[in-house]
Structure 1
Amino acid sequence: MSDFGFSKKLRLLGAADYQPVFKNARYKVSCQHILVLAVDSDVPFPRLGLVIAKKNVAKAVMRNRVKRIIRESFRHNQGLLPALDIVILARSGLGSLENELVHKKIERLWQELIQKADRCTPVRRQSQEIK
């Protein structure tokens, strides 16, 4: 069970962690309310960063709820995700969606991200599965 936590090593913590993702995003998947950017990571596991701006999700309660749903989804899917640094950006209207709909949207985006990463780096992905 502890393998599916959300420890500090699984987070993008500072500007130095976020900057390469914004500058060199190799993978982009999105829907109307969420944008996911990712780059190949130097570490052998996925890391997550969230950008939930007050401009797009006005109330703090809604921002916190959205972040909680996304973190929980990442926690459950981290074993399937390739070694990427991932940044999720909220677009306007995300805070007004029901929890279940936010969860479904992010789950679909994880699957799209996995497919894109597998298409672009199949050798790297297979070597991770063998370990």
Structure 2
Amino acid sequence: MTARFPRHVRVRARAEYDRAFQQGRRTASPLFSLHFVAGPPPARLGLAVSRKVDPHAVGRNRIKRVLRDAFRQLRPQLRAGDYVVVARRAAADTENRLLREGFIGLLQQAGALPPPGAGGTIPPAATAAPPSHPASDDPADGSSLPA
């Protein structure tokens, strides 16, 4: 996968943001608010990080950079549509790892990503070990060990 974040996977126009805010399903956490509107592929990301979140551009850009990177890596697993993330004040004081974990948790809460460990407790048949066969007592098959 490339490290780029091309224009076609970004929510860019004001009308697209308005549609997400008005028609989208909202999910919230202490760090972010997520508005999701199902749509045609690919999954697209829009970010809103205001000066109220962090008055310094460096801090706002850090939050956006972390979210873009996480989205870029998760995009193949996400449902098609527009994801608009609005950062909250607590995000400014949160370290990058926790921002990423908070974003992933919000996507799982919204149903866009499967929860961790959703595979179940029974291993798939392809990975199960074949049944072991005890050694036969019949010397004709050649599988018995000498005594």
What TM-score do the two structures reach when normalised by structure 1? Answer: 0.80
Report the AA paired with residue 32 of structure 2. Answer: I
Q: Which residue of 2 aligns with 1:124?
A: none
User: 1-side partners of 2:112 and 2:75: how far apart?
Assistant: 16
2:66 is aligned to: 69
Higher helix share: 1
Q: How many residues were matched structurally?
A: 114
CA distance in 2, matches of 1:82, 1:17: 17
Q: Which runs of 4+ in 1 moved over 3 A?
A: none
1:87-119 residue CA offsets vs partner (Å, 9 max, x unmatched)? 000111211111111111011112222x2689x
Q: Which of 1 and 2 has greater Rg?
A: 2
1:46 correspondence with 2:38: no
- 1:30-76 CA-to-partner distances (Å, cap 9, x unmatched) read 111210001111x2211110000001222111100000000000000
Asked if 1 retains the 8 angstrom alpha-carbon contact of 2:107 and 2:113, the reply is no
Superposition TM-score, scaled by structure 2 size: 0.72
Partner of 2:21: 22
Structure 2: state its 5+ residue gaps.
115-147
CA contact (8 A) 1:57 1:93 kept: no
Partners of 2:113 and 2:100 in 1: CA distance: 21
Identity in percent: 30
Q: Which position in structure 1 is the counterpart of 2:29? A: 31
- 2-structure distance, mates of 1:89, 1:55: 11
